[in-house]
């Protein structure tokens, strides 16, 4: 398996523009997580899905952020309109089903570095 | 809510041992984890420990768990320049296998030749 695939790897945009980040989880994994990493706040969980259903979106900063998972192999994180303070590295991670023997390991993508000017 | 805390920076000389410390708050955590992040990359699981253990050794890595004090440490023996990275401590929220990991701020390990 190729691992968790994220795109784009880098995005530079201007304030007010819409940004869409994409993620393909590892096949067979039924958990998908979106994290944001900044120097100031470290690694923050934004939202996570189980079987394509959002379970906890309490980390989503505000209504400008939205996430969808239309099927088991694809998820998007959208920011509209974007602001300079949204500049960060956004990570997607997936995990296999929670069952006996599963240690809860998350498998991370390489991240999407977003710069909002 | 749950919280995980780590020191932010550690500098050691090549060949020395490194010890990275972490404290956590959720006493129901079933597993506790150490992840490694190399520059420009995502996090990768380095090792984990089950909550009913107090020590786990894996080659150059030793994890110590003190459940009473909610303290976790990672010792890297014979530290190499390739070990330079950010190390994150994490716990599973709510115990069991909720799937939701809470990460510390990360400890940047600098290894000097």
Task: Measure the CA–CA gap between A92 and A113, rounded to whole angstroms.
Answer: 12
Show residues of chain A in contact with B93, CB under 8 Å.
none
Task: Quick: pLDDT tens for A74-111.
Answer: 999 999 999 999 999 999 999 988 765 567 789 999 99
Mean pLDDT of chain B: 90
CB B37 within 8 A of CB B83: no
Residue (of A47, A37, A23) closest to A107 by Cα position = A23
Task: Let me know if A108 is exposed, middle or buried by CB neighbors in 10 A (0-12, 13-18, 19+).
Answer: buried
Task: Quick: pLDDT tens for A11-54.
Answer: 999 999 999 999 999 999 999 999 999 988 889 999 999 999 99
Nearest CA in chain A to B93: A104
What pLDDT does A113 receive? 97
What pLDDT does B109 receive? 97
Q: Looking at residues B77-102, what average pLDDT do you find?
A: 85
* CB–CB contact A56 B100 (8 Å): yes
What part of A 38-67 touches B (C-beta under 8 Å)? Answer: 42-43, 45, 48, 50, 55-56
């Amino acid at each position: 398996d190729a691992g968790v695939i994220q795109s784009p790897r880098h995005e530079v945009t201007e304030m007010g523009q819409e940004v869409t980040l994409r993620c393909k989880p590892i096949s067979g994994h039924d958990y998908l997580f979106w994290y944001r990493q900044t120097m100031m706040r470290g690694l923050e969980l934004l939202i996570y899905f189980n079987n394509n259903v959002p379970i906890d979106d309490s980390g989503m900063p505000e209504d400008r952020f939205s996430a969808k998972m239309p099927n088991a192999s694809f998820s998007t994180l959208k920011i509209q309109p974007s602001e300079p303070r949204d500049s960060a590295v956004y990570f997607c991670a997936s995990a296999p089903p929670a069952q006996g023997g599963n240690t809860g390991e998350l498998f991370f993508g390489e991240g999407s570095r977003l710069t909002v000017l | 809510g749950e919280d995980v805390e780590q020191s932010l920076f550690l500098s050691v000389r090549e060949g020395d041992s490194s010890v990275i410390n972490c404290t956590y708050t959720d006493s129901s955590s079933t597993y506790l984890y150490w992840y490694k992040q190399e520059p420009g990359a995502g996090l990768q699981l380095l090792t984990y420990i089950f909550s009913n253990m107090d020590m786990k050794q894996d080659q150059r890595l030793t994890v110590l768990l003190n459940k009473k004090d909610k303290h976790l440490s990672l010792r890297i023996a014979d530290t190499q320049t390739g070990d330079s990275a950010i190390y994150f401590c994490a716990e599973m929220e709510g115990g069991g296998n909720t799937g939701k990991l809470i990460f510390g701020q990360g400890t940047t390990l600098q290894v000097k030749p």
